[in-house]
Amino acid sequence: MPTRQKKIIHLSDLHVGYENLTSVLGDMVSRMIFHKRPASDYVVVVTGDLVDNATEESSYAATSEHLNRLEDAGFMVLVVPGNHDYGTGGRGYSKYVELFKQHFFGNPDITYPKLDMVDNIAFIGLDSTAEELNWYDSLWAQGELGEEQLDRLAELLASDELTDIEYKVVYLHHHPFAPKPLHHLKDSEKLGDILKNHPVDVLLFGHNHDGKVWNGNWGIERVYDAGSSTGKDGKANPHRVIDFSREPAFDYDAQF
């Protein structure tokens, strides 16, 4: 019996700990568990800013409580960090890099790109914040992947490991397109060059809370900004479901 094609649910910018967003996430997770069955058909990808303020001691645990509910129900959950996951959002601290890895991956030595192979899909997670935690650029939150991570990404995409993979999904936190001051990935041009030379099928991100569709950029068929999935400050919050068995026009907002 053939394996059912996995679908992706793209979430981002949960900002757990901000006002009532912890309970908003809890309600959203309950609806996901109720409506999306079987859960094993879905991979949930969260593109950063899981918490609103990593310096608040309980923030990681509060987020994990709800993500663990998804995993317990049968969903696979993949995450990458955003600027708020390493500090306050406007100020980052390097100690949270390993703390985040330990808490959400169970391994402080994880490196990026982080590759997860799920059936015929390669999920490639990037950290677009860690290179901005030096003393001279730990303020603000523009985002930077850095030369070493970009080199590893190019090597991975060109490797034999991905030769027979049907779909490739790259996901990160910071926005590579929107030219907002201090909100545009610093090395987006270099990332674009890599993804043009080594085509992928999906590019997912968040950060700006816009929730827009950028399909076709860099020649990528599906390019999505998830907005803020918990609707922080009333911002756009599409809960986009990606179904590879259909054309991108059929991807939809599940409105959990």
Round to whole Å and give the CA distance between 14 and 79: 11
Q: Which residue type, as a one-letter code, is found at position 217?
A: N
pLDDT band at residue 188 using 50, 70 and 90 as cut-offs: very high
Tokens of 178: 């929107």
Q: For residue 183, what pLDDT is reported?
A: 75
Handedness of CA 68, 69, 73, 79 (dihedral sign): negative
The pTM of the full predicted model, rounded to 2 decimals, is 0.96
What's the pLDDT tens digit per position in 78-121? 999 999 999 998 888 999 999 999 999 999 999 999 999 999 99
Reduce the DSSP state of residue 192 to 3 states and report it. Answer: helix
Round to whole Å and give the CA distance between 30 and 249: 27
CATH class entry, domain 7-253: alpha beta
Round to whole Å and give the CA distance between 89 and 140: 7
What's the pLDDT tens digit per position in 31-88? 999 999 999 999 999 999 999 999 998 999 999 999 999 999 999 999 999 999 999 9
Q: For residue 138, what pLDDT is reported?
A: 60
What's the pLDDT tens digit per position in 194-227? 999 999 999 999 999 999 999 999 999 999 999 9
Mean pLDDT (whole number) for 163-177: 96
